[in-house]
């Protein structure tokens, strides 16, 4: 059984007070004990305030980005050690906005992935095709290449230890209101698991969680989570609204026993 990971990627949204307010609304509604894993991923600047607001709640802290060097003259960057020091567990790498807006290459993503897992944090490696790539039947090729590059330096030991999560996020579904159908998502998730099995072996591949992301919301969470290879959701827009995010967590709690 893989425990669902429901993670809210807040991106460059919410001020400090709004972040704290959202956390208090979420924590008030989380079942205790919680059968699914929950994470919130605020801007770096609010990680500490969010951590304080979380208190002892069973919600993991995440970070949206990191730099791969350990320390030094890298103006504006943040290291894995700094995030670890703040109590962060999950770190995103390869998010499509980093790839397409900030120009991060497969190679940079691979270096970040390596730094995250060797630094003892958990990697959420994001992969996904654009609409044009999907329409020209290149989904498998693109996702395969992103996985190869992103995991090039992620050793089997790191994958086995539970420090690796993959997020399949079709670029055409991010922030657009278009969601992959459960069947479309499942097809790519199954491909990703096959690739993971080739690299890390069948047992490890079966233990790695593969999240779906792209306009996930309360109303479509249950049908997405009902797919055998969808092990959680990475949520942008809907994670900024307490009621939506809580609704998604509730859908995951209901679906967990059969997963
Ligand atoms: P969205 O974003 O839920 O707003 O589509 C998902 C993501 O980018 O992780």
pLDDT tens profile 13-62: 999 999 999 999 999 999 989 999 999 999 999 999 999 999 999 999 99
Nearest CA to ligand 1 atom 7: 236
Catalytic residue at 95? yes
Residues 193 and 206: their CA atoms lie apart, in Å, by: 7
Above 90 in pLDDT, residue 125?
Answer: yes
Query: Pocket of ligand 1, candidates 180, 220, 234, 248: which has the most ligand atoms within 8 Å of its Cβ, to mutate?
Result: 234
Residue whose Cα lies nearest atom 2 of ligand 1: it is 236
Closest atom of ligand 1 to CA, residue 176: 5
Other beta carbons less than 10 A from residue 48's beta carbon? 14
Nearest CA to ligand 1 atom 1: 236
Q: Is the dihedral of CA 226, 231, 236, 240 positive or negative?
A: positive
Weakest mean pLDDT among 179-183, 193-197, 204-208, 240-244: 179-183
How far is ligand 1, taken at its centre, from the CA of residue 237, in Å?
6
Find the 71 Cα to ligand 1 centroid distance in Å. Answer: 30
Say what the pLDDT of residue 178 is.
84
Continuous H helices in 35-169: 47-54, 80-85, 96-100, 106-118, 131-135, 139-150, 156-160
**Nearest atom within ligand 1 for CA of residue 11:** 8
Residue with tokens 């209901």: 254
Among 237, 228, 234, residue whose Cα is nearest residue 255: 228
* 189: three-class secondary structure by DSSP: helix
pTM over 0.85: yes
pLDDT at position 83 is: 98
Residue nearest to atom 6 of ligand 1 (CA): 236
**pLDDT for res 44:** 98
Catalytic: which of 37, 97, 169, 244? 169
| Residue 217 confidence (pLDDT) | 97
> Three-state SS for 154?
coil
* pLDDT tens for each residue of 77-124: 999 999 999 999 999 999 999 999 999 999 999 999 999 999 999 999
18 φ, ψ to 5°? -65, -35
Q: How far is the CA of 174 from the centre of ligand 1 (A)?
A: 5
Ligand 1-lining residues (CB < 6 angstroms): 9, 169, 174-175, 213-216, 234-238
State the closest ligand 1 atom to the C-alpha of 217, by its place in the atom list counted from 1: 3
The number of beta carbons lying within 10 Å of the beta carbon of residue 231 is 25
| Ligand 1 geometric centre to CA of 11 (Å) | 9
C-alpha dist (Å) from residue 224 to 31, 35, 184, 213, 249: 21, 18, 10, 10, 13
Which stretch of DSSP H or E encloses residue 37?
Answer: strand 37-41
For the CA of 239, the nearest atom of ligand 1: 3
Q: Which of 37, 46, 95, 97 is catalytic?
A: 95
Looking at the predicted structure, is the pLDDT value of residue 200 above 90? yes
Distance (Å, rounded) from C-alpha 136 to C-alpha 125?
24
Instruction: Report whether 245 contacts 29 (CB < 8 A).
Output: no
Here the tokens at position 122 are 């958990």
The 10s digit of each residue's pLDDT in 157-196 is 999 988 999 999 999 999 888 888 999 999 999 999 999 9
pLDDT at residue 90 in the model: 98
């Amino acid at each position: 059984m893989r425990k669902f990971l429901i993670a809210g990627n807040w991106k460059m949204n919410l001020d400090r007070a709004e972040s704290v307010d959202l956390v208090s609304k979420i924590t008030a509604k989380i079942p205790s004990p919680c059968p699914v894993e929950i994470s919130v991923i605020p801007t770096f600047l609010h990680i500490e305030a969010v951590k304080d607001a979380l208190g002892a709640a069973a919600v993991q802290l995440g970070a949206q980005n990191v730099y791969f060097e350990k320390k030094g003259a890298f103006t504006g960057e943040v290291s894995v050690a700094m995030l670890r020091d703040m109590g962060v567990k999950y770190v995103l790498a390869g998010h499509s906005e980093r790839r397409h807006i900030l120009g991060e290459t497969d190679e940079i993503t691979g270096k970040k992935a390596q730094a995250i897992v060797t630094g003892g944090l958990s990697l959420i490696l994001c992969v996904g095709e654009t609409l044009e790539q999907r329409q020209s039947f290149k989904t498998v090729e693109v996702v395969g290449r992103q996985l190869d590059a992103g995991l090039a330096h992620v050793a089997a030991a790191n994958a086995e230890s539970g420090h690796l999560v993959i997020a399949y996020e079709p670029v055409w579904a991010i922030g657009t209101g278009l969601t992959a159908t459960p069947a479309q998502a499942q097809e790519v998730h199954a491909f990703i698991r096959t690739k993971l099995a080739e690299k890390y072996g069948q047992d490890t591949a079966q233990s790695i969680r593969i999240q779906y992301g792209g306009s996930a919301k309360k109303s479509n969470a249950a049908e997405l989570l009902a797919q055998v290879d969808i092990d959680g959701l990475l949520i942008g827009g809907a994670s900024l609204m307490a009621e939506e995010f809580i609704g998604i967590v509730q859908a995951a709690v209901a679906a967990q026993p059969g997963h």
